[in-house]
Amino acid sequence: MEPDKPACRETTPLLMDSGKENVKLTGNVSAAPPPPIISRTPSNDPALPVIQVEVESQSYQVPSQIPVEDSRAMMEHATSNLQSLMHLLKGNIGTGILAMPIAVKNAGLWVGTIGLLLIGLVAVHCMHLLVNCSHLLCRRTSSIALDYADVAEISLKTGPQSLRRFAKASRYLVNAMLMLTQFGFCSVYIVFVATTVQQVVHHFHNTDPGIRVYEVIVMVLLVPYTFVKNLRALAPFSAFANLLTITGLGIIFVYIVQGLPSVNSRPAFSSFAQLPLYFGTAIFAYEGISLVLPLENKMRNPQDFGGWTGVLNLGMVIVTCLYTAVGFYGYLKYGDDAKGSITLNLPTDNWLYLSVKLMFAISIFISYGIQFYVPMKIIWPVIESRLESRKLIVYGEYLLRVVLVLITFAFAVLIPHLDLLISLIGAFASCSLALIFPAAIELITFSAEEESISKIMFVKNLLIMSFGVLGFATGTYSSLKEIIATF
């Protein structure tokens, strides 16, 4: 192999317990039977790791010609900056934005609006914390890419000696919260799509079936859609969903800004008792952190993801502005009549607004596949590693996808109230992933021997963690209390 022209490319990195990273190569690898086993081991220069080649029990070490930060550019199914932005927007602009009016209702017009901006600022900061820690830990371990659970585990493995025994437990905890959150999102999507379609059909047929029938229909349609396996294949769906969302939001804004009452007609602050529900709904909307690392890891140019003008900031500034505007004008328009989704407040006797409802139903349906990607990437590799038959591996993955869709359907049936389900998921799972874990990971990562923690970093992360714990406790309690009272 010529040293200045690498003839292979890395496609599937997997960090092993030994600290080495097995890498699947595709391309013109020299055909010497049996195929060489190739893995990356740390080198003195983290930008140029060593490639360990084993052929028939003989071992050779050659410097990699592909820097760690550049090697992902040659991955199969790598996404462009625009595709990654589309996924980021679609992953964040879902049912959460439509629930912003009722969120502001639970806090008051001005407290709720300003609170959305502050929560958005903290949430985006925590996304950057996770990305920056991922980069640092990649250099520390000569890894190509790490997911959320990898970052949590390796931060403890390479952190203070007293915390290293919790490394494996941290992986299980993060994965459990990720799956719970994503399953919750998917369940909310089923409820939303079913409720929206029912409302449209009810306009034409007063004797339409109950909500459970619509949820079953949505579940059946989701099964073949979830068979799409990679983000690149989902990119056209994301672009189409974003087009529907932008069109729908434009029509909604034109409607809600007409005939607005005075801002003095709405209370600036509601009550402390309602704040936990507000916080749960708001953090649910901003909990796109579970998609951040998977999106960056799949980018052709991952260096364009972070930074002041990167994909992450561009996407989240758009998201935050939309959240704030929908929350402010939606509550100002409808007041205490605001429902779990602003689309449910739109008139049902006008074809234009009925079409908006259908636009969002299709858009949220498409979002299901993007949110579904995360738990599949967590669960399937564990199951696949225990299967030997190629036939079982192929059909087993499809079976797992069907089972997971059925699980989200079961959650949707159990709690059909959209606003309460959103608040519960946001408070219980999203607080941990969006606020508590990133701040704790940064403190642990910079507690390693070669790193240092400034007083500002320590105080800042302690405040974020305290804010997250408070929201977790009060939000979960208030949501469960409301759900019990409803039933």
Reported pTM? 0.76
| pLDDT at position 460 | 95
Residue type, 20: K
The answer, yes or no, to whether residue 470 has pLDDT greater than 60, is yes
Return the closest-CA partner of residue 156 out of 142, 144, 141.
Answer: 141
Encode 272-290: b = buried (16+ Cβ within 10 Å), e = exposed.
eebbbbbbbbbbbbbbbbb
Q: What are phi and psi of 76, to 5 degrees?
A: -70, 145
Q: How confident is the model at residue 30 (pLDDT cuts 50, 70, 90)?
A: very low
The answer, yes or no, to whether residue 394 has pLDDT greater than 60, is yes
The answer, yes or no, to whether residue 33 has pLDDT greater than 80, is no
Q: How confident is the model at residue 89 (pLDDT cuts 50, 70, 90)?
A: confident
| pLDDT at position 482 | 82
Q: How confident is the model at residue 74 (pLDDT cuts 50, 70, 90)?
A: low
Name the burial class of residue 337, with classes exposed (0-12), middle (13-18) and buried (19+) by CB atoms within 10 angstroms of its CB. Answer: exposed
Q: How confident is the model at residue 381 (pLDDT cuts 50, 70, 90)?
A: confident
- Locate tokens 């003839």: which residue? 7
pLDDT tens digits, one per residue of 414-445: 876 767 777 888 888 888 899 999 999 999 99
Q: What are phi and psi of 89, to 5 degrees?
A: -65, -45
Rounded mean pLDDT, 80-101: 84
- Locate tokens 């997250």: which residue? 468
**Phi-psi bin for 338: left (phi > 0), alpha (psi -120 to 50), beta?**
beta
Q: What are phi and psi of 484, to 5 degrees?
A: -60, -40
Q: What are phi and psi of 79, to 5 degrees?
A: -105, 150
| pLDDT at position 113 | 95
The answer, yes or no, to whether residue 163 has pLDDT greater than 70, is yes
Handedness of CA 164, 127, 372, 487 (dihedral sign): positive
| pLDDT at position 399 | 92
Return the closest-CA partner of residue 178 out of 154, 157, 150.
Answer: 150
pLDDT tens digits, one per residue of 305-364: 888 888 999 999 999 999 999 999 999 999 989 988 898 888 888 889 899 999 999 988
Reported as half-sphere exposure (CB side, CA atoms, 13 A), residue 317 has a value of 7
Residues 418, 99: Cα–Cα separation, whole Å: 9
For 231-382, where are the E strands, in sequence order? none
Q: What is the mean pLDDT of the chain?
A: 81
| pLDDT at position 71 | 52
Q: How far apart are the first and last CA of the chain?
A: 68
- Locate tokens 């909500």: which residue? 211
Q: With residue 393 as reference, give the H or E element that holds it.
A: helix 390-414
| pLDDT at position 475 | 86
Q: Is residue 133 a contact partner of residue 151, using CB atoms and an 8 Å limit?
A: yes
For 105-165, where are the E strands, in sequence order? none
Using a pLDDT cut of 90, give the percent of the chain over it: 34
- Quick one: DSSP state of residue 67? -
The answer, yes or no, to whether residue 290 has pLDDT greater than 90, is no
CA dihedral 244, 247, 251, 254 (to 10 degrees): 150
Give the residues across from 54 on adjacent strands: 37, 59
| pLDDT at position 50 | 42
Name the burial class of residue 63, with classes exposed (0-12), middle (13-18) and buried (19+) by CB atoms within 10 angstroms of its CB. Answer: exposed
Q: Is residue 148 a contact partner of residue 130, using CB atoms and an 8 Å limit?
A: yes
